[in-house]
Chain A
Amino acid sequence: MTSQIIIDPPEDGLASNGQTSPTTLSIHLTINGRDHALDIEPRVTLLDALRERLHLTGTKKGCDQGQCGACTVHIDGERVLACLTLAAQAQGREITTIEGLAEKDGTLNAVQAAFLDQDAFQCGYCTPGQIMSAVACIREGHAGSDEEIREYMAGNLCRCGAYPNIVAAVRQAAQELRS
């Protein structure tokens, strides 16, 4: 197994080891403020790197093809899907997962607390993705009404059908964060 540096590109502007065959990449990921070094194949997604390599299993794998939202994380503060993001592509960005949302002393984020208050889940599998999406939805300014919450949370599916309570939780957290 070889490794290569992909940042600090050579003069032609292409960062590579000069090989054209697939090879192992040595990358650093900044996750929840901590630096992680890992050697991965280029095709490894951020989702698989988080779960299988770094054992951050709070981020869930649902459909693994960008349709369900269970793998929602933040990159540079914006919600994205970890299943359609290559881990290598995320090098140099700030990644936040559900494990990084609460305060260090365990105080829950307002959205996490609102999900508990409103009983906004049943089986809980989609919940980390729902919460990461909701935090960003409120920050974007897209939680102004129930209709807007429904539209801008549409990328997170809940097979248990807890949608009314999820909307209530997002509404509550948005109100708390505004006041």
Chain B
Amino acid sequence: MRDFSYLRADSIEAARNAAALPGAMLLAGGTTLVDLAKCGVAEPATVIDISHIEGLDAIDVSAERAVIGALARMSHVADNPQVKSYFPAVSEALWQAASAQLRNMATIGGNLMQRTRCPYFRDPANFPACNKREPGSGCSAIGGVTRGHAVLGTSEACIATYPGDLAVALVAFDAEVDLGERRLKVEDFILAPGATAEREHDIRPGEVITAIEIPGSAAARRSTYLKVRDRQSYEFAAASAAVGLELEGDGRTIRDIRVALGGVATKPWRARAVEEALKGKLLSEDTVRAASELAMEAAVDHGANHYKIALAPRVIARAILKLGETA
């Protein structure tokens, strides 16, 4: 690991000033930054430790909205009783991510800032070509081992899968990220690679995430996060779905439904075609399964990840049908 200067910021203003310094990177939980510095991917000149800023870790939840401070730890949000009641998909996405130790370290703001990474990205010594690390250098994954790579939102520049779980739930429920001067939908904040794979977030120099806000809804209250993976725990998603469901008074007609996907796309992926196909319909297994297939209409595989195109609709359908059973 290349050495760096270490500074502590004791306020948001100090963090914003420091974040504008050339070569500066913010340190909160450290689970991404220290890891990527060790494998030679992140080479900050200056590390700005924001983890000691007071008052940025509040978790304020009601039926109307959740406001979660940027320094709140993943584990604390996952275990928060109001989050479990009003936003169960958010709690489930969090406790099924990483490990207990990492969730105690990692913050909500840092979680949104985690890099979209694949094994080639993490190995600069053996794979110099990576458009995320060196724009224009090429993509080592295309034509390589692609079992974990994305089938949606890919480009010729990059096919890395967005690895997070929390943001999938946030995108399903229209959460926003608070950057101080600007507020953005999480869906717009996290970028697909396009021709600029190195740019993963719509964040400007000097901007710092202070909080996220999730609007409450009936669908958020009746929601779940289903994560299917190669091993049962401490593993990235092969495919995952954050789903929320609101039924009409008859208990059978779908009034509102939210579907977002993880593990299959280059960013947290809202499946609006599935939602539109199901709104106003009677909830039945055949209808749900047919609609779930629509999520993969634009999918493109790279060989070994072909299975995701079959898997993801089944994950969506299973999550919706499970919610339908819980009256």
* Interfacial residues, chain A to chain B (CB-CB below 8 A): 6-7, 9, 12-16, 19-23, 25, 41-43, 45, 64-66, 69, 72, 78-81, 83-86, 88-89, 92, 133, 136-137, 140, 142, 150-156
Interface centre among B2, B17, B18, B30 (most CB of A within 10 A): B30
Further contacts, 14 of them, CB under 8 A, given A13-B17, A15-B8, A136-B100: A13-B10, A16-B5, A42-B6, A65-B35, A65-B38, A65-B39, A79-B100, A86-B30, A89-B27, A137-B100, A140-B75, A140-B79, A142-B100, A154-B233
Cβ-defined contact, A14 with B18, below 8 A: yes
Considering the complex, give the chain B residue whose CB is closest to the CB of A129: B101
Beyond A42-B47, A86-B34, A89-B49, whether A80 also contacts B14 by CB under 8 A is no
A-B contact count (CB 8 A): 118
User: What's the nearest-Cβ distance from chain B to residue A166, in Å?
Assistant: 14
**Which of B11, B21, B34, B99 is close to A13, meaning CB atoms less than 8 Å apart?**
B11
Residues from chain B with Cβ under 8 Å of A43 in the complex: 1-4, 37
Residues from chain B with Cβ under 8 Å of A64 in the complex: 38
6 interchain pairs, CB-CB under 8 A: A9-B10, A12-B14, A14-B17, A20-B46, A41-B3, A133-B101
Beyond A86-B34, A88-B49, A89-B49, whether A66 also contacts B102 by CB under 8 A is yes
Bound state CA distance, A151 and B4, in angstroms?
Answer: 36
Considering the complex, give the chain A residue whose CB is closest to the CB of B49: A89
User: What's the nearest-Cβ distance from chain A to residue B28, in Å?
Assistant: 10
User: What's the nearest-Cβ distance from chain A to residue B51, in Å?
Assistant: 6
Residues from chain A with Cβ under 8 Å of B9 in the complex: 13-14
Residues from chain B with Cβ under 8 Å of A13 in the complex: 9-11, 13-14, 17
- Which B residues between 36 and 60 are near A, CB-CB below 8 angstroms? 37-39, 45-47, 49, 51-52
Chain B's interface: helix, strand, loop or mixed, by majority? mixed
**Which of A14, A88, A89 is close to B14, meaning CB atoms less than 8 Å apart?**
A14
Residues from chain B with Cβ under 8 Å of A136 in the complex: 100
Bound state CA distance, A6 and B10, in angstroms?
Answer: 11
* Interfacial residues, chain B to chain A (CB-CB below 8 A): 1-11, 13-14, 17-18, 21, 27, 30-31, 34-35, 37-39, 45-47, 49, 51-52, 75, 79, 98-102, 104-105, 233-234
Bound state CA distance, A140 and B101, in angstroms?
Answer: 12
Cβ-defined contact, B37 with A7, below 8 A: no
**Which of B5, B14, B38, B234 is close to A21, meaning CB atoms less than 8 Å apart?**
B5
Bound state CA distance, A80 and B31, in angstroms?
Answer: 10
Cβ-defined contact, A78 with B4, below 8 A: no
Cβ-defined contact, B105 with A22, below 8 A: no
Cβ-defined contact, B45 with A20, below 8 A: yes
